[in-house]
Structure 1
Amino acid sequence: MSERDEAVSGAAPGTMSGGALLVACLRAHGARRAFCVPGESYLEVIDAFHDHPDLDVVVCRQEGGAAMMAEAHGKLTGEPGICFVTRGPGATNASAGVHVASQDSTPMILFVGQVARGQMEREAFQELDYRQVFGSMVKWAAQIDEAERIPEFIGRAFAVATAGRPGPVVLALPEDMLRDMVTPPADLGAHAHRRADAYPGPDAMDRLRAMLAEAERPLVIVGGSGWTEEARSDFQRFIEANGLPVAASFRRQDLFDNGHPNYAGDVGVGVNPALARRVRECDLLISVGSRLSEMVTSGYSLVAIPRPAQSFVHVHPDPEELGRVYQADLPVNASLRAFAHAAAAMPPVEPRWADWTRQARADYEAWQQPKATPGRVQMGEVMRQLNERLPDDAILTNGAGNYTVWPHRFHRHRRLGTQLAPTSGSMGYGLPAAIAAKREHPDRTVVAFAGDGCFQMTVQELGTAVQYGVNVLILVINNGIYGTIQMHQERRHPGRARFTDLVNPDFAALARAYGAHGELVEETAGFAPALERALKAGKPALIELRTDPEAITPNTTLTALRETARAGGPR
Structure 2
Amino acid sequence: MTGGQIFHEMMRRHGVKHIFGYPGGTILPVFDAIYNSKYFDFILPKHEQGAGHMAEGYARASGKPGIVLVTSGPGATNVVTPMQDALSDGTPMIVFSGQVATAAIGSDAFQEADILGISRGCTKWNVMVRNVAELPQRINEAFEIATSGRPGPVLVDLPKDVTAGILRKATPTGPAIPRIATYANTDANHKLLTKSISHVAKLINTAKKPVIYAGQGVIQSPNGPQLLKELADKASIPVTTTLQGLGAFDELDEKSLHMLGMHGSAYANMSMQEADLIIALGARFDDRVTLNVAKFAPAARAAAAKGLGGIVQFEILPKNINKVIQSTEAVVGDISENLTHLLPHVNRTSVAERQAWFKQINEWKAKWPWNAYNRDERPHLIKPQYLIEELSNLIADRKQETIITTGVGQHQMWTAQHFRWRHPRSLITSGGLGTMGFGLPAAIGAKVARPDALVIDIDGDASFSMTLTELTTASQFNIGVKVIVLNNEEQGMVTQWQNLFYEDRYSHTHQRNPDFMGLAGAMHIQHRRVSKPEEVVDSLKWLIHTEGPALLEVMTDKKVPVLPMVPAGSGLHEFITWDAHKDKERRSLMQDRTCGLHG
TM-score of the alignment, normalized to the shorter chain, above 0.5: yes
From 426, 451, 454, the counterpart of 1:445: 454
* Inter-partner Cα distance in structure 2 for 1:86 and 1:209: 52
Match of 1:433 in 2: 442
Q: Deviations over 1:243-292 (max 9, x none)?
A: 01110012321111111111111123312233212211111111110111
Structure 1 residue 191: Cα displacement: 7.0
Match of 1:210 in 2: 202
Match of 1:221 in 2: 213
* Inter-partner Cα distance in structure 2 for 1:26 and 1:357: 52
User: RCO greater where, 1 or 2, for CA within 8 Å and sep 6 or more?
Assistant: 2
Equivalent pairs: percent with the same residue?
27
Change (3 A) 1:241 1:568: closer
SS of the aligned residue for 1:127 comes to coil
Structure 1 residue 359: Cα displacement: 4.3
State yes or no: 1:368 paired with 2:370: yes
Greater shift in the superposed pair: 131-140 or 190-199: 190-199
Q: Is the 8 A contact 2:62 2:450 kept in 1?
A: no
SS of the aligned residue for 2:64 comes to coil
Change (3 A) 1:224 1:185: farther
* Inter-partner Cα distance in structure 1 for 2:204 and 2:430: 33
Q: Counterparts of 1:154-165 in structure 2 under 5 Å? A: 154-165=139-150
Match of 1:385 in 2: 390
* Inter-partner Cα distance in structure 2 for 1:460 and 1:334: 41
SS of the aligned residue for 1:446 comes to strand
Q: Counterparts of 1:105-504 in structure 2 under 5 Å? A: 105-183=90-168, 185=170, 187-188=172-173, 197-199=182-184, 201-225=193-217, 227-228=220-221, 230-298=223-291, 300=293, 303=296, 308=301, 311-350=310-349, 352-357=353-358, 359-360=360-361, 363-364=364-365, 367-371=369-373, 372=375, 373-374=377-378, 376-390=381-395, 391-393=398-400, 394-423=402-431, 424-504=433-513
SS of the aligned residue for 1:83 comes to strand
Change (3 A) 1:388 1:185: same
SS of the aligned residue for 1:295 comes to helix
Greater shift in the superposed pair: 229-238 or 247-256: 229-238
Greater shift in the superposed pair: 200-209 or 167-176: 200-209
Q: Is the 8 A contact 1:261 1:358 kept in 2?
A: no
Q: Please report the RMSD computed on the Cα atoms of aligned residues, expressed in angstroms.
A: 2.6
Q: Is the 8 A contact 2:312 2:327 kept in 1?
A: yes
Change (3 A) 1:380 1:568: closer
SS of the aligned residue for 1:124 comes to coil
Q: Counterparts of 1:26-45 in structure 2 under 5 Å? A: 26-45=11-30
SS of the aligned residue for 2:323 comes to coil
SS of the aligned residue for 1:188 comes to coil
Match of 1:525 in 2: 534
Match of 1:510 in 2: 519
Q: Is the 8 A contact 2:19 2:43 kept in 1?
A: yes
Structure 1 residue 227: Cα displacement: 2.5
* Inter-partner Cα distance in structure 1 for 2:580 and 2:502: 12
* Inter-partner Cα distance in structure 2 for 1:180 and 1:359: 69
State yes or no: 1:98 paired with 2:80: no
Structure 1 residue 414: Cα displacement: 1.2
* Inter-partner Cα distance in structure 1 for 2:342 and 2:297: 26
Change (3 A) 1:568 1:430: closer
TM-score using structure 1 length: 0.91
* Inter-partner Cα distance in structure 1 for 2:550 and 2:514: 16
* Inter-partner Cα distance in structure 2 for 1:174 and 1:321: 35
AA at the equivalent of 1:565: R
Change (3 A) 1:204 1:131: same
Query: Which ranges of structure 2 fall in alignment gaps of 5 or more residues?
Result: 185-189, 305-309, 564-576, 594-599
* Inter-partner Cα distance in structure 2 for 1:240 and 1:33: 39
Match of 1:76 in 2: 61
SS of the aligned residue for 2:138 comes to helix
Structure 1 residue 32: Cα displacement: 2.0
Structure 1 residue 451: Cα displacement: 0.5
* Inter-partner Cα distance in structure 1 for 2:394 and 2:266: 29
Q: Deviations over 1:361-416 (max 9, x none)?
A: 66457523243154611223212321221122211110101122221111111111
AA at the equivalent of 1:377: I
Q: Is the 8 A contact 1:534 1:541 kept in 2?
A: yes
* Inter-partner Cα distance in structure 2 for 1:192 and 1:109: 17
SS of the aligned residue for 1:254 comes to coil
TM-score using structure 2 length: 0.87
Greater shift in the superposed pair: 560-569 or 125-134: 560-569
Structure 1 residue 184: Cα displacement: 5.3
| Corresponding pairs, count | 555
